[in-house]
Amino acid sequence: MIKNSLIITIVFFVIINIGCKIPEKTTTQDLQPIPATYQLKKDSLNINSISRDVFFKNMELKKLIDTALLNNIDLKIAIQRIASARASVSMANGITKPSLDLIASTGVEKFGNYTMNGIGNYDMNLSPNVNKDQQIPRNMPDFFLGFRSSWEADIWGKLSSRKKAAALRLLASEKGRQWLSTQIIATVASFYYELLALYKEEEIILKNIELQENAVQVVKAQKEGGRATELAVQQFSAQLVGTKSYLYLIRQYIEQNQNSLNSITGKFNQPISKQTTIDEEALPSIIESGIPSQLLSNRPDLQEAELLLSASGADIEATRKAFLPSLNINAFTAINTFNPSFILSPQSLAYGLVGGLITPVLSKNMLKSNYELAKAAQQESYLIYQQKIINAFQEVQLNLKGIENYKEFLKYKTEETQFLKDAVVTSKELYLTGFASYLEVIVAQRGVLDAEIESVKSKKAIFLYIIDLYKSVGGGLN
């Protein structure tokens, strides 16, 4: 007997030892170091200390942004995701606490005559120690009214790791909402400045149409006086018609941008105000590059990726500790009887308490699979985080350089436009005096139109780079 007990004990501890072997902790590679500073010239404004109002001062734009943040459907979906993540945290908190259920149940059961329970009940009813009230009926009712409780003791920290993972994902979902808000703000601003540029292009085209109409009238009068040919009239008229056709193309672009703005702000067909032109929008001063690590730390998408990476690490800890034995405690207390007349009797009070150590043995393949899945998810989170950091640095670098280069481009394009305007005046005077051909006038007029449109587009490009910079540094601090 002692020998058998010894064998059973040895087998038990061997099984426990097998079950307690858990995988080693995983490690991820170190991230690449971020360069100390951006290699661009500096001035008075530091990105690390600015807010949305520094980027976007236009009051109409601010109203559109506020409306979009209030009505945007994608943002409302993100808020619901946060609510789901919060519910997951509550669920994770619940698994570390004892469950308690109030149970009221009733039933009836008849045992066969040739079963252990049937024979045992029949034999027990014949016992002199059983009184009439204690005899078990052939069709035995069962009345249960009481509480059941179960609890898994978090002796290894497995459940705490699950709680940590859920809490980190809740924080990550909030950062995801912040990043979506930043993207919505940037999108609204991009559409708005596109629209201002289109309004200005429409104004330029209308002005050129008026000038070209005057030119057509002049050349027609000269033809009647014998100083111009029909070919000149046709050339001036063709230029006028081409400019008019471009006007309707611009108006279609305006319609598209207005629809896009209405869509993202959750509105229907509402026109956007023309109170401001892109010429009246002041460009910010040259922006100081700052320190990349400080800039990038403001980005919600990087913070989200970092939190998800930490959550994946907590998942791995939970799957590792699942290999260890778990301690489960179950208890109940209730009124339990097969005779309804004794349901309120103190003698029907029943209770129980049992504790058990559960060690996985044959289920270890499933645990290993869960562990490998968690490892793969952690590596994926690490690579995503690394990729986001690299991309974020490149975005800031590109946007700062874009602002700098397009400012220089706009400066020279403005000078070119003025020269071309002077050339139009000169060519008209020379044409009227016979020292220039009508083709020179047409070329000069076309040059002014193209240069003015390019100036508008270059200023719009600066604003778009500023908007992308706002997004690439995390949307400012507030």
Decide: residue 243, CB within 10 A, 0-12 exposed, 13-18 middle, 19+ buried.
buried
Compute the distance between CA of residue 361 and CA of residue 49 in angstroms, rounded to an integer. Answer: 57
| 283 against 102, higher pLDDT | 102
Question: What is the mean predicted confidence (pLDDT) over 63-69?
Answer: 87
Compute the distance between CA of residue 254 and CA of residue 194 in angstroms, rounded to an integer. Answer: 9
How large a percentage of the chain has pLDDT more than 70?
A: 85
Contacts of 437 (CB under 8 A, 6+ apart): 431
Compute the distance between CA of residue 253 and CA of residue 329 in angstroms, rounded to an integer. Answer: 69
How large a percentage of the chain has pLDDT more than 90?
A: 13
Helix (H, G, I), strand (E, B) or coil at 140: strand
pLDDT digits (tens, 9 = 90+) for 442-473: 888 888 888 889 999 999 999 999 888 888 88
- Among the CATH numbers 2.120.10.90, 1.20.1290.10, 1.20.1600.10, 1.10.260.40, which is that of 28-96+157-324+363-472? 1.20.1600.10
Residue 6 has pLDDT above 60, yes or no: no
Task: Describe the crossing of helices 158-224 and 438-472 by its angle, rounded to 10 degrees.
Answer: 170
| Confidence band for 427, pLDDT divided at 50, 70 and 90 | confident
Contacts of 330 (CB under 8 A, 6+ apart): 148, 149, 150, 151, 352, 353, 354, 355, 356
Question: What is the mean predicted confidence (pLDDT) over 154-159?
Answer: 84
Lowest-confidence region among 44-58, 168-182, 410-424: 44-58
Kindly state the helix (H) or strand (E) to which residue 146 belongs, with its residue range: strand 139-153
Kindly state the helix (H) or strand (E) to which residue 232 belongs, with its residue range: helix 230-264
Q: Please choose, from the candidates 412, 440, 414, 413, the residue with its C-alpha nearest in 3D space to the C-alpha of residue 426.
A: 440
Question: What is the mean predicted confidence (pLDDT) over 254-262?
Answer: 89
Q: Tokens representing 365? A: 């393949």
Q: Please choose, from the candidates 32, 45, 41, 44, the residue with its C-alpha nearest in 3D space to the C-alpha of residue 470.
A: 45
Q: Tokens representing 445? A: 């007029």
**Average pLDDT of the residues of the chain:** 81
Compute the distance between CA of residue 413 and CA of residue 152 in angstroms, rounded to an integer. Answer: 73
Residue 293 has pLDDT above 80, yes or no: no
Question: What is the reported pLDDT for 311?
Answer: 92
Q: Phi and psi at residue 404, in whole multiples of 5°? A: -65, -50
Whole-number Cα distances in Å, 120 to 125, 127, 131, 330, 366: 9, 11, 16, 28, 42
Q: Where are the domains of the chain?
A: 28-96+157-324+363-472
Contact 287, 45 (CB under 8 A): yes
Compute the distance between CA of residue 161 and CA of residue 175 in angstroms, rounded to an integer. Answer: 21
pLDDT digits (tens, 9 = 90+) for 33-50: 666 655 544 444 455 555
Q: Which amino acid is at 86?
A: R
Long-range contact list for 429-435, CB < 8 A, 24+ apart? Answer: 434/227
Contact 471, 182 (CB under 8 A): yes
Residue 192 has pLDDT above 80, yes or no: yes
Residue 290 has pLDDT above 70, yes or no: no
Question: What is the reported pLDDT for 40?
Answer: 47
| Confidence band for 421, pLDDT divided at 50, 70 and 90 | confident
Q: Is the dihedral of CA 256, 257, 261, 267 positive or negative?
A: negative
Residue 17 has pLDDT above 70, yes or no: no
Residue 137 has pLDDT above 50, yes or no: yes
pLDDT digits (tens, 9 = 90+) for 318-336: 888 888 888 888 998 988 8
Task: Describe the crossing of helices 300-321 and 364-432 by its angle, rounded to 10 degrees.
Answer: 170
Count of Cβ atoms closer than 10 Å to residue 223 Cβ: 15
Lowest-confidence region among 110-124, 311-325, 331-345, 438-452: 110-124
The pTM (predicted TM-score) of the whole model is: 0.76
